[in-house]
Structure 1
Amino acid sequence: MDARTLLDQLFPAGHDVVFDGPYFAGSGRCGAGSVAVIGSVDAAPIGIELAHRMAGAVLDVVREHPGRPILLAVDTSGQRLSHRDELLGINGYMAHLAKCIALARNRGHRVLGLVYSKAVSGGFLASSLLADVCYALPDAEVMVMNLPAMSRVTKIALERLQALSQTSPVFAPGVANYLAMGAVEALWDGDLAQRLDAALAAPVDGDRRRAVGEARGGRLLARRVAERVRTDAVG
């Protein structure tokens, strides 16, 4: 689904979102009131300019509209892989974006992520995945690292990773696997405006992803390991 169609379906009461190249931002009207919208189109790789612009938009909402919910609808093929971006410190720009989203959450803004097309690698990790809750459309594409790249980094044979990906969502791309791991809370279909209203009305109950992933059979050890780290540290 393209971004303009998505916004029309999310906000049938209207929106003032403005598109500028790969970036868009504005606000939409729904049952809960006004929602700030920040995102990107065309699987845009997130370089220093786009990361800085999205971070600035988040800070603008925090300053000018205290408590307003924020919807992150980021369509990205990942962080931009260029020598220029590396030299200019893209890691710092991505971290700045992540910290701005964390600031908004800490200041009481409900932050929702919605993967409507593609979410890959650092572009996903530093945006929609840092929301209070992340949702996705059924035909969205989600991955953090493809198996050949994972093989190069971990030194595990590609054939072994391919075999593991058949039984463990942790090693496999695809929105169904991220749903199983709890990274994606639910898939949105049907009436998207109704889905958005329900998500905004749902109580905020901390980070449930580890528990959800365990319950769905996608991540069986994450919650228990995290609990042990916390209790051992206190002890």
Structure 2
Amino acid sequence: MMDWQNVAAQLFPGGHTITEADNFLSGSAQVDGKPVAVIGTTDHTPIGIEIALAQAQAILKTVCEHPGRPILILVDTQGQRLRHRDEMLGINSYMAHLGKCVDLARRKGHTVIGLVYDQALSGGFITSGLIASACYALPEATIRVMGLPAMARITKVPEERLTELAKDNPVFAPGPENYLRMGGLHGIWDGDLAGELIRALADAKAGDERMALGLARGGRLMAHPVAQAVRVGSDVRPA
């Protein structure tokens, strides 16, 4: 397990004001002489309604009080919290609210960078780092939207068959390398984390290039052509 203090020390050698409260991270730091807002989670915490609201509030506060300030999301979560209480209170709406806040920040001109420094699973990842302007991961990170045993139960495809498919198809396989091939990750950081963050902020694009990256890297071949066909109203057929 990679602790957030170690990661923060490498990302911000000049220091930071990040604090932890009930597995929720928030604060700020200087990156290349400019302020950056930082939010995130730690200890593989599941995203329940409290943390979803805390993250959303921190993002909205940055949008209101610091227009245009970049936002770094540090991701370490086992996914959406699976409790009857959260389900009854509408955890799906809280997660959607968080995703909308990230989208609002991007539309308002904030560069949002996600960094999976430990674990990223299911809804906790989808509504944070995965919809940032760009998402990166450390080499030792664990990333998956759904484990193969759970996927087998849902799809009714034998787990042995999914395991076989995962050897060649990144859609079925976990890990940062496979998400890099699919375009979900823009890169894997190994070494100078402070320098990597500076470059990521400088290189961030306003649009969403994940589908194009997945096509170029050979890990997600149909998403971009289908989206382009829908946009222009033409037919698309597999090569």
Same fold (TM over 0.5): yes
Note the C-alpha offset of 1:147.
Answer: 1.1
Residue type at the aligned position of 2:185: V
Aligned counterpart, 2:192: 191
Q: Aligned residue for 2:66?
A: 65
Q: Where do 1:11-160 residues align within 5 Å?
A: 11-160=12-161
Question: Deviation of residue 157 (structure 1)?
Answer: 2.4
**SS of alignment partner, residue 27 of structure 2:** strand
The answer to whether the Cα contact below 8 Å between 1:32 and 1:197 also exists between their aligned partners in 2 is no
Partner-residue secondary structure (3-state), 2:165: helix
Q: Secondary structure at the match of 1:39?
A: strand
Partner residue, 2:6: 5
The residue that corresponds to 1:202 in the other structure is 203
Cα RMSD (Å): 1.3
- Percent identical among aligned pairs is 56
Q: Distance in 1 between matches of 2:229 and 2:159?
A: 32
CA distance in 2, matches of 1:215, 1:223: 10
Instruction: For 1:24 and 1:211, locate their aligned partners in 2 and report how far apart those are by CA, in whole Å.
Output: 32
CA distance in 1, matches of 2:204, 2:121: 28
TM-score, length-scaled by structure 1: 0.96
The 1:163/1:94 distance shift into structure 2, 3 A limit, reads: same
**TM score, norm. by length of structure 2:** 0.95
The answer (yes or no) to whether the contact 1:32–1:200 under 8 Å persists in 2 is no
State the distance in 1 between where 2:189 and 2:65 align.
Answer: 30
Encode CA deviations 1:111-149: one digit per residue, 9 max, x unaligned. 000000000000000110010000000100000001121
Q: Structure 2 vs 1, CA of residues 52 and 205 (structure 1 numbering), >3 Å: closer, same or farther?
A: closer
Superimposed CA distance per residue, residues 28-62 of structure 1 (whole angstroms, 9 cap, x where no aligned partner):
11105000000011000000101011000000000
1:205: Cα distance to partner? 4.9
> Comparing 172-181 with 224-233, which one deviates more in the overlay?
224-233
Cα distance in 2 for residues equivalent to 1:24 and 1:208:
28
SS at match of 2:233: helix
Task: Report the count of equivalent residues.
Answer: 234
Q: What stretches of structure 1 of length at least 5 have no aligned partner?
A: none
Q: Could you tell me which amino acid in structure 2 is paired with residue 161 of structure 1?
A: L
Shift of 1:160: 2.1
